[in-house]
Chains A and B, each alone.
Chain A
């Protein structure tokens, strides 16, 4: 089974702190994604990566950055956390290739971040 592991289930930080959310997948997937999930807004894409050291902005990248130094690990960074970044953060990974069973995204359990 594909496993996507997020380092923390719950996190409480203060405004202005630098926050790192870590995600590791064990299926050698090329693609990795960070989403935030808010009530009524669904899953909104923050950043994604097709390969090591590559990153692309999603729909809501403002206030976030990412790092992918190794294929299995994708980090989301909040340079200076703000209260409006309080949310559930979900990491996902998928395999590249011809459509079919590729592009299926496997999600981690999520990190609920509270910024006070």
Chain B
């Protein structure tokens, strides 16, 4: 039931772009994106709702393709501060049930 994230890990040089994908086997109501820095709690980045538009946050944006049941997180001109593990979380069905099922995470390492 967990959404599938890809890639599992990615290493970038500062300034490069990255895409992280999140796929679900069930129809999605919403997709959440969180980032967890080493030794810290996961922190909310953004939420994409069924029927909603692409969201953006600093140089991080995301899209939600309802037909393909997937979301992608785009990191543009990556900065050292973007390092961490990114989790997508999904909610299913036609209404929010508050429960979120998280993927296994994508570890992003940014090198100077």
User: CA separation between A26 and B96, bound complex, in Å?
Assistant: 23
Which of B8, B30, B32, B102: most chain A CB closer than 10 A? B102
Are B40 and A109 interface neighbours, CB within 8 A? yes
Are B96 and A103 interface neighbours, CB within 8 A? yes
Are A99 and B49 interface neighbours, CB within 8 A? yes
Are B101 and A45 interface neighbours, CB within 8 A? yes
Contact of A42 with B98 at beta-carbon distance under 8 Å, contacts A99-B49, A103-B30, A110-B41 already known: no
Residue numbers in A under 8 Å from B89 (CB-CB): 43, 105
Which of B2, B43, B91, B103: most chain A CB closer than 10 A? B2
Counting chain A residues whose Cβ lies within 8 A of the other chain, the interface size class is: 20 to 34
Interface code B10-37, partner A: CB below 8 Å = 1, 0 otherwise? 0000000000000000000110101000
Contact of A103 with B104 at beta-carbon distance under 8 Å, contacts A31-B98, A42-B2 already known: no
Kindly identify, within residues 89 to 112 of chain B, every residue whose CB is under 8 Å from any CB belonging to chain A: 89, 91, 96, 98-105
Query: Which residues on B are within 8 Å of A, measured CB to CB?
Result: 1-2, 5, 8, 29-30, 32, 34, 40-44, 47, 49, 87, 89, 91, 96, 98-105
User: Can you give 18 A-B contacts (C-beta < 8 A)?
Assistant: A4-B41, A42-B103, A43-B89, A44-B2, A45-B100, A48-B99, A56-B99, A94-B98, A99-B29, A99-B49, A99-B96, A100-B47, A100-B49, A104-B32, A105-B34, A105-B89, A107-B42, A110-B41
